[in-house]
Structure 1
Amino acid sequence: MEQQILRSSQWFAREGKDGFIYRAWLKKQGIPAHELEGKPVIGICNTWSELTPCNSHFRELAESVKRGVIEAGGYPLEFPVMSLGETLIKPTAMLYRNLVSMDVEESVRANPLDGVVLLCGCDKTTPALVMGACSVNLPTIVVSGGAMLTGRHMGRSIGTSDIWRFSEELRSGKMSTEELAMAEAGMCRSDGHCAVMGTASTMACMVEALGLSLPQNAAIPAPDAARKVLAHLSGMEIVKMVRDNRRPSDILTREAFENAIMVNAAIGGSTNFVVHLLAIAGRIGVNVTLEDIDCWSTNIPLLANLQPSGLYFMEDLYYAGGLPAVMNALLPHLHKDCLTANSNTIGDNYRHAVSYNKEVVTSLETPFNNVSGIVVLKGNICEQGAVLKPSAATPRLMQHTGRAVVFEDIDDYKRRIDDPQLEVDENSVLVLKNVGPKGYPGMPEVGNMGLPAKLLAQGVTDMVRISDGRMSGTGFGTVVLHVSPEAAAGGTLAILQDGDMITIDVAGRTLNAAISPEEIARRKAAWQPSYPVAQRGYVQLYQQHVEQAHLGADLDFLKGSSGSDVARDSH
């Protein structure tokens, strides 16, 4: 059998001065010469950081990956990239998703790596790392960090979705600050990301559904020993992937993206899935559109009874059989021949999976909810589209007309939302401008605006809300998000005014303001941008080059791939 020529040999098999430098400086870490002779070199891309609590256990997880790489005959080299923690980073971690993807892409391309393991946890780390890896297209496998154990408070289970409930109860006087402190102490009981089907768990499900991870990657809790076992097995698998030259472009076909869209509908995944999947598709060169999200979600019922669309938690999903149980139930709809990281097809990996708890993972015949997926709306407010998650919304508001109550930006909203004089009632439509990719900048998770205090006091629990921003995957409500073009780009959202009548028709997939084309044109002619413009640095670069939400909010110059060719030697 012909000996495979490894990419890393362009460094370590070199003769003369260059090879001397490459090997000698690596050997200073105590590496014997034979470790650099013909073994696949595997990069472990680690987003560990104490500033990213969801990923705080990744040092230990990386050690499990290393053991697997070594067992399979490879040599592991761990390296850091910028880590994004949604809970702490201001103004929003989404602002830096594309920056991290650049970090990953250039770190992988520039170094002597034959394959890479991506350690992902908190929301943006998964899409950022996958986007960067796709632009290099070396053999890649994903290991997610896993969800934390379910929180406990006053005898009941709680998760991140309860934060929004607690906040409204505190504002309405139904919950005291002392009770909130007790809930805070019981919320995060272990390592891991959010315990519900928020964006982090949605992203873990996305990579498994795409075929970029081993089966069961999505749902194993972070503290469970099985998470380390999966990391070890992933370390072994990446060495095989290198030897077989199995790359992301072999796995991420059009059909794989369609599978991921259907799985996302079945699990009640986050609306953030849309901007991240579109960005990944743009990097690997597969044409996926916003309309595809709606198309491939249609007729897929909700099979996973998980918060925020249901009752249970990610820990419960694992005990019920994990994502394999969901994908097994969904197999009649899925493209079963799609290749996965372990060289098996989707059909091979999931045809024998079962649900151990029919309350948590149901079936196509008896789904938890026939309403699922992510709906794409079009209309004069959102010419390029907007999204809504029906399973997290209120059925009576799916067809609704109401008077607009408009906030020009997030600060305007914060100033006025609890003003007793605010002209608003339960039939009003709350509109928030200038929180899109350019306008904030970064497109923060503020779309699920808290309701006016005076309406909370009246017992109102939901209203139609519209913005060009995003919503946390843990959030819920009748919330229209990702309006494109955004207000800062001069979309119709920018010229909406208090009192404009807005109609949402989810069944008809429309969102319109009762404004004539002539009036829209008149207002747009008088419109002046009002969002803050950065004067320097990455944020200025971002604002100048970020694409709109319906394209995935990537930077225009990052779409596509530059490949894995080694840069010219400089020694």
Structure 2
Amino acid sequence: MSDHDQSDKKRPLRSAAWFGTADKNGFMYRSWMKNQGFPEHLFDGRPVIGICNTWSELTPCNAHFRRIADKVRQGILEAGGFPVEFPVFSNGESNLRPTAMLTRNLASMDVEESLRGNPVDGVVLLVGCDKTTPALLMGAASCDLPTIVVSGGPMLNGKHKGKDIGSGTAVWQLSEQVKAGKISLHDFMAAEAGMSRSAGTCNTMGTASTMASIAEALGTSLPHNAAIPAVDSRRYVLAQLSGNRIVDMVKEDLKLSKILTREAFENAIRVNAAIGGSTNAVVHLKAIAGRIGVDLELDDWTNIGRGTPTIVDLQPSGRFLMEEFYYAGGLPAVLRRLGEANRLPYPDALTVNGRSLWENVAEAPIYNDEVIRTFDNPLCKDGGICVLRGNLAPRGAVLKPSAATAKLMKHRGRAVVFDNFDHYKARINDPELDVDASSVLVMRNCGPKGYPGMAEVGNMGLPAKLLEQGVTDMVRISDARMSGTAYGTVVLHVAPEAAAGGPLGAVRDGDWIELDCESGRLHLDISDEELASRLKAQDATAASRVLASDGGYLKLYIEHVLQADEGCDFDFLVGLRGAKVPSHSH
């Protein structure tokens, strides 16, 4: 008898509570499953593997997941498992209003309850568009089953006028050029079809590619999962191999908690700096850590990430796109560079293939030093997420240095205040707006409770009259998020948000604001007494209460969502609840 056979005898499969009994309950569970044509031998005690699919035609990034799921299924069957595919809420950023972030927690609840309540021993998470990655990992972490991530991969490079353009990033760039009078509306619209020309997620280092890279850095996926293009045949090979691997993970009892350790999160923070990853990773990593029971704080991004150069030269921070990143060696090449420079905090961290992170990448090829740069020639000398604090952000705010303008990272300017996103849209292009290049644009009531959902509106477009003068960047501050495809000197995630009584609600037009990224300072230049007086005079929670009256999921969200520094999870979802088999009902 093999070791695996012996361990299987000692540790009965979770699915045996449904399919492994010769009584009325076992009869019913097996009988109903057999109406799909499943043969008897699939119920012989082999691991039942869930394929958690976020396929949806309303989530264009994930619209090719039917084929990926088929490859995963083939891999599971080859390895002697019983694959069962199930859908969960698919929250794609491109179509879903007001923002996919509003339903990230909802999707995580869907995943958690689907896993806990069904006869599965392990799960393959099919993720793509940016919120599906953290949502599925959050839900799976709460259950702590053997879990492997398969991402959908980035789309091919966009093409326009014979040149490469990046999805998302090109929208921001071309839109600003239209407002500045540099290109016509016709030229802008002509880029539309060429920007997104294949299946897959954004081809820039936006949040989708960032979170796919984070999933790989955490050890939750096989090597190269992050960067293989969606339509490359190797994406489907990886899906099939992942199906193979999850069956053995169940036999080895390689649960998610053995992968998602404190050490894994520290590796991921360092990787985010090296790739010039999205600020959204700050919120998502905190939420995932909270579900698995790892203590991760906002200041960890300073303590671990700061001082790490950005060596991946990708849009929006740099020049290239995800195709080039994969061809240059992908994330294994970045991890090798980090390890060889003694900048990978925990190279021995365990990954889903049973090997350490360093064992997976020690000999990873690096084909292009322009795309994946050396540490003596970085894109940005310090790419670690900049955490800011001060009287304007007592619980913190973040800025992405690799996407910012160096000369603006220490700045003092007068505030131009927008009470919400609608107020911004109505006011930003008013020729009479009192604003110049040194002004600081401030937008509030766009945080978790205030928007609600903390939409990606923090990278406010600049006033048309300044764009026409050649201004390309300004300091912007908000309690919102911004797309990982966006760029600029943008302070985000100000906590607490204005709608929760935060100091952002007290800023007035003309107030002086100081930003100093090096010292991590964000300061509203008024006295403590004046700040307290202003906050006392306003009803900072009015926006929250009005929205809460709408009822439904929105009410649940506003009443229970945590602030940005806490990961924007629901207060009642934090913690590892496990996958104890629920009592049967028959």
TM-score (norm 2): 0.97
Paired position in structure 2 for 1:129 = 136
Distance 1:472 1:501 in 2: 27
Paired position in structure 1 for 2:568 = 553
Q: Is 1:537 aligned to 2:552, yes or no? A: yes
**SS of the residue 1:430 aligns to:** strand
1:40, distance to aligned residue in structure 2 (A)? 0.3
Paired position in structure 2 for 1:217 = 225
Between the aligned residues of both structures, percent identity stands at 60
Q: Is 1:312 aligned to 2:320, yes or no? A: yes
**SS of the residue 1:511 aligns to:** strand
1:457, distance to aligned residue in structure 2 (A)? 1.0
**SS of the residue 2:299 aligns to:** helix
Contact kept? 1:149, 1:221, Cα under 8 Å: yes
Q: Is 1:176 aligned to 2:184, yes or no? A: yes
One-letter code aligned to 1:223: V
**SS of the residue 2:319 aligns to:** coil
1:294, distance to aligned residue in structure 2 (A)? 1.6
| Deviation string, structure 1 residues 504-551 (Cα, Å, up to 9, x no partner) | 001111000111000011111101133142221111011001000001
Paired position in structure 1 for 2:447 = 436
One-letter code aligned to 1:245: D
Paired position in structure 2 for 1:298 = 306
1:49, distance to aligned residue in structure 2 (A)? 0.1
Distance 1:300 1:459 in 2: 32
Alignment of 1:145-156 (within 5 A): 145-156=152-163
Distance 1:299 1:515 in 2: 32
**Residue from 114, 136, 144 that aligns with 2:121:** 114
One-letter code aligned to 1:566: V
**Residue from 398, 413, 416 that aligns with 1:405:** 416
Paired position in structure 2 for 1:11 = 18
**Residue from 33, 46, 67 that aligns with 2:40:** 33
Distance 1:248 1:20 in 2: 31
Q: Is 1:395 aligned to 2:410, yes or no? A: no
Distance 2:73 2:584 in 1: 29
| Deviation string, structure 1 residues 174-220 (Cα, Å, up to 9, x no partner) | 22121112100111110000010000000000000000000000000
Contact kept? 1:355, 1:362, Cα under 8 Å: no
Paired position in structure 2 for 1:526 = 537
Distance 2:374 2:73 in 1: 38
Distance 1:236 1:516 in 2: 62
1:354, distance to aligned residue in structure 2 (A)? 2.2
Contact kept? 2:306, 2:382, Cα under 8 Å: no
**Residue from 489, 501, 514 that aligns with 2:500:** 489
**Residue from 81, 99, 102 that aligns with 2:106:** 99
Alignment of 1:150-549 (within 5 A): 150-160=157-167, 161-331=169-339, 332-334=342-344, 335-528=346-539, 529-531=541-543, 532-535=546-549, 536-549=551-564
Unmatched 5+ stretches in structure 1 = none
Distance 1:523 1:392 in 2: 33
Paired position in structure 1 for 2:582 = 567
**SS of the residue 1:431 aligns to:** strand
| Deviation string, structure 1 residues 306-335 (Cα, Å, up to 9, x no partner) | 111110001100000110000000012211
One-letter code aligned to 1:235: G
Distance 1:493 1:375 in 2: 19
Between Structure 1 and Structure 2, how many residues are aligned? Answer: 571
Q: In terms of mean alpha carbon deviation, does 529-538 or 74-83 score higher? A: 529-538
Distance 2:54 2:394 in 1: 37
Distance 2:332 2:25 in 1: 48
One-letter code aligned to 2:297: T
Distance 2:416 2:154 in 1: 37
| Deviation string, structure 1 residues 331-356 (Cα, Å, up to 9, x no partner) | 12211110000000011101011210
**SS of the residue 2:583 aligns to:** coil
Considering only aligned residues, what root-mean-square deviation do their CA atoms show, in Å? 0.8
Distance 1:174 1:29 in 2: 59
Paired position in structure 1 for 2:80 = 73
1:257, distance to aligned residue in structure 2 (A)? 0.3
| Deviation string, structure 1 residues 58-82 (Cα, Å, up to 9, x no partner) | 0000000001001111010000000
Contact kept? 2:144, 2:579, Cα under 8 Å: yes
Distance 2:337 2:574 in 1: 35
1:561, distance to aligned residue in structure 2 (A)? 1.6
1:565, distance to aligned residue in structure 2 (A)? 0.7
Distance 1:299 1:427 in 2: 28
One-letter code aligned to 2:516: D
**SS of the residue 1:330 aligns to:** helix
1:366, distance to aligned residue in structure 2 (A)? 2.8
One-letter code aligned to 2:80: G
Distance 1:527 1:295 in 2: 36
1:558, distance to aligned residue in structure 2 (A)? 0.1
**SS of the residue 2:414 aligns to:** strand
Distance 1:182 1:492 in 2: 43
One-letter code aligned to 2:383: S
Distance 2:404 2:437 in 1: 15
**SS of the residue 1:347 aligns to:** helix
Distance 1:430 1:366 in 2: 33
Distance 2:307 2:401 in 1: 13
Contact kept? 1:503, 1:511, Cα under 8 Å: yes
1:365, distance to aligned residue in structure 2 (A)? 3.0
Distance 1:395 1:35 in 2: 60
One-letter code aligned to 2:547: V
Q: In terms of mean alpha carbon deviation, does 261-270 or 297-306 score higher? A: 297-306
Distance 1:408 1:268 in 2: 30
Distance 1:404 1:198 in 2: 29
Distance 1:222 1:88 in 2: 20
Contact kept? 2:548, 2:559, Cα under 8 Å: no
Distance 2:321 2:69 in 1: 26
One-letter code aligned to 2:443: L
| Deviation string, structure 1 residues 144-199 (Cα, Å, up to 9, x no partner) | 00000000000110012111011111122222121112100111110000010000
**SS of the residue 1:387 aligns to:** strand
TM-score (norm 1): 0.99
